[in-house]
Structure 1
Amino acid sequence: MKKLIYVLIAGLLLSSCGVMNTRGSQYPKMYEEKPVTLLVMPPINNTTKVEAKELLYTSISRPLAEAGYYVISPLVAMDVFKSESAYDSEQFYDGKLDMFKNYFGVDAVVFSFIEKWSKVGVGINTEIRYVIKSAHTGEVLFAKSCSLFLDLSAKSSSDKSLLSSLLNVADTFLTTALTDHIVAARKANYYIFEDLPRGKYHPDHMEDYDVPVDSDNISRTVRR
């Protein structure tokens, strides 16, 4: 029944908007290999914000688990990475991944790239890219990026008095001070992984082939 609904929705979108990709057409190798267990590698940080790496790393596993995948505990994985001098994912991205398959018993490895992680005006500018590679073949199964601006400005008031303006500025400053970059990262993760084909432990597993998806590179502006 769910599959029929997805097909009908896809048909309506295709007829109204022209050709649109689906999870199956955009990420066919996810359906061919059917990965069950994922290993999340430490993010590759291409910014000057040193803290970005660990902050993003803590936010990746949950959306993957919610999508129906078994994710190796990031705490366990991190201990192994550090003990084996494997904390820098750059050295593994272009190489063979069978060592992770043999050690952790995983089917695929998740790489992430932090391209932007900065405070801009009254908001946070974040750009993150994810690539999921097969631990068996090294082929790319899934790739998508999101450039997201998190607007932290306080809601404007209809009262344009000086006092109201001052209070608005103070509220904006306080809100920004209490907001961590991780909020923006989590929102970017949501937009990226909402198009990920569902895994074995999700009720839509192998039933979501015709679900419409967005492009591989998306931009979003959202409020906190």
Structure 2
Amino acid sequence: MRHFVRAIAITVVALIATGCATTQPTYDYTALEASKPRSILVIPPINNSVAVNAPYIYLSTISAPLAEKGYYVFPVAVIEQFLTSNGLQSPADMHNISLEKIREHINPDAVLYVTIQDWGQKYHVVDSTTVVNTELKLVDAKTGHILWTAKAALAQGANNGGGGLAGMLISAVVNQVIGSVSDRTPQVSAIANNIAINHRNLGLLPGPYAAKN
């Protein structure tokens, strides 16, 4: 009987340990809740990928999910033009602007810095994958405190794998030809941003303009 009880106890402990292991962590929102930003300025991304057009495509996919989350987002194209016309020719220069200067000329509540680590369509022998890998950091424009960080990353394959080896090879060729004409990175980037911003435990908290349920 004693061995039976012991076996049950070990099983319960194992189940609890398994449950703890699968529990997703929750982001520490202390700084974000204290700051309560209403407006967000998105600085043009630093691009560490080989895709030269990645920053421009990325900027077209970030405003909507932030606005839908309840924040005012400064128009990204206007901001980029403003920074460029004031002598900042690269995203690296823009990322090095002091928060004091940003507040003086634009005055946002928070600033979003983005780094693109990987981007584009990767072609393999029998498959192709569209990859988007970015890192986001939201900073309080007054204090410089980090309010929220996230990784928006997604790899989406295009091959359905049907028709055997011959079918896969034909599909890969077709995907490469289509991919050279139709870029899927805008769609993949939009999905990645939506997942990161709306993640249940790690996403961005709703802003002051969020729709009330």
Note whether the superposition's TM-score is higher than 0.5. Answer: yes
- Three-state SS of the structure 2 residue aligned to 1:26 is coil
The residue type paired with residue 57 of structure 1 is L
Task: Tell me by how many angstroms 1:125 deviates.
Answer: 2.3
Distance in 2 (alpha carbons) for counterparts of 1:165 and 1:48:
27
What's the counterpart of residue 190 of structure 1? 194
What's the counterpart of residue 152 of structure 2? 146
Distance in 2 (alpha carbons) for counterparts of 1:127 and 1:76:
25
Give the conservation status (yes or no) of the 8 Å contact 2:83–2:94.
Answer: no
User: Which of 120, 123, 142 is 2:122 aligned to?
Assistant: 120
The residue type paired with residue 79 of structure 2 is A
Distance in 1 (alpha carbons) for counterparts of 2:94 and 2:30:
24
Q: Which has the larger radius of gyration?
A: 2
The residue type paired with residue 49 of structure 2 is T
Task: Tell me by how many angstroms 1:134 deviates.
Answer: 0.8
Distance in 2 (alpha carbons) for counterparts of 1:60 and 1:170:
31
Distance in 1 (alpha carbons) for counterparts of 2:52 and 2:102:
26
Distance in 2 (alpha carbons) for counterparts of 1:78 and 1:94:
14
Distance in 2 (alpha carbons) for counterparts of 1:180 and 1:134:
33
1:137 counterpart = 2:143 = yes
Task: Tell me by how many angstroms 1:182 deviates.
Answer: 2.0
User: Which of 81, 84, 97 is 2:83 aligned to?
Assistant: 81
Alignment length (residue pairs): 187
Distance in 2 (alpha carbons) for counterparts of 1:127 and 1:71:
22
The residue type paired with residue 196 of structure 2 is I
1:180 counterpart = 2:188 = no
- Three-state SS of the structure 2 residue aligned to 1:201 is coil
Identity of aligned residues (%): 22
Structure 1 alignment gaps of length 5 or more: 1-13, 206-224
Distance in 2 (alpha carbons) for counterparts of 1:149 and 1:15:
31
Q: What do you get for the CA RMSD once the two structures are aligned?
A: 2.8
TM-score (norm 1): 0.72
What's the counterpart of residue 215 of structure 1? none
The residue type paired with residue 143 of structure 1 is T
The 3 A distance-change label for structure 1 pair 196 and 165 is: closer
The aligned runs of 1:1-224 (5 Å cut-off) are 17-18=19-20, 20-22=24-26, 25-91=27-93, 93=95, 96-121=98-123, 122-153=128-159, 155-157=160-162, 160=164, 168-169=171-172, 171-173=174-176, 175-177=178-180, 178-194=182-198, 195-203=203-211
Distance in 1 (alpha carbons) for counterparts of 2:149 and 2:84:
26
The 3 A distance-change label for structure 1 pair 126 and 161 is: closer
TM-score (norm 2): 0.75
Structure 2 alignment gaps of length 5 or more: 1-15
Give the conservation status (yes or no) of the 8 Å contact 2:45–2:115.
Answer: yes
Distance in 2 (alpha carbons) for counterparts of 1:68 and 1:16:
36
The 3 A distance-change label for structure 1 pair 55 and 169 is: closer
Task: Tell me by how many angstroms 1:33 deviates.
Answer: 0.4
The residue type paired with residue 172 of structure 1 is N
Give the conservation status (yes or no) of the 8 Å contact 1:78–1:87.
Answer: no
Q: Which has the higher contact order (CA 8 A, sep 6+)?
A: 1
Give the conservation status (yes or no) of the 8 Å contact 1:152–1:175.
Answer: no
